[in-house]
Amino acid sequence: MLIAGNWKMFKGPAEARTFFDGFEAPADVDVVFCPPYVSLGSAVETGQTIYAQNVHWEPTGPYTGEISPQMLVELGVQGALVGHSERRQLFGETDEMVARRARAALEAGLGVIACVGETLEQRESGDTELVLKIQVEAISFAAGAHERLVIAYEPVWAIGTGKTATPEMAEEAHAFIKGLLDRPVLYGGSVKPENAAELMSQTSVDGALVGGASLDPDSFAAICWAASTS
């Protein structure tokens, strides 16, 4: 099982250090933390597995505000998220951009968690599988079934809303994604200690990408322990 905590725009370096002082997870669960860029250095110093929240596809260049894979490697970061729904929705990232980010990161030796998922409108119109097929195949075409690639299925309508896909919905989507690309698939979308065990007991669910519940060390540890017993 892989449990990844996406801190989004929370926790500067001091808060990050405080979090890690109070966090303990089971040894049989792989745990990844995705702090904001400013906290990457202090997070790496803890010895935990640290991923960035995004990464550019070029090694250097006039890309104000972006960070290259090579810069992350130099810092000791081990991977990156790409294609999070907030990046797609709020910052206009396309399937092509997500695929390029994934390929560049993998080529630089980083791990990648590539996010895919449908909006509520797309689900209600019956287009979930079409949307997932387009998103996953873009990543697959660029990177293939790379050993350091993980997919995260995050139904956009369940992120930060308190709504969660039922375990059956998650299983169906994960199985479909695995039929397109044979890589582990995490579930992301309002994962909490209360629902983590049931979600991760599904056959095709290989872990979780956790947002808000990853900000509290006790809450996040509880999800990790749920994964250990699933």
Backbone angles phi, psi at 210, to 5 degrees: -110, 130
Among the listed residues 146, 154, 171, 174, the single catalytic one is 154
- Which sign does the torsion angle of CA 85, 89, 90, 95 carry? positive
CA 158 remoteness from chain centre? 15
Q: Is 56 a catalytic residue?
A: no
Whether 84 sits among the annotated catalytic residues: the reply is: yes
Q: Which of 56, 84, 146, 174 is catalytic?
A: 84
Catalytic residue list: 84, 154
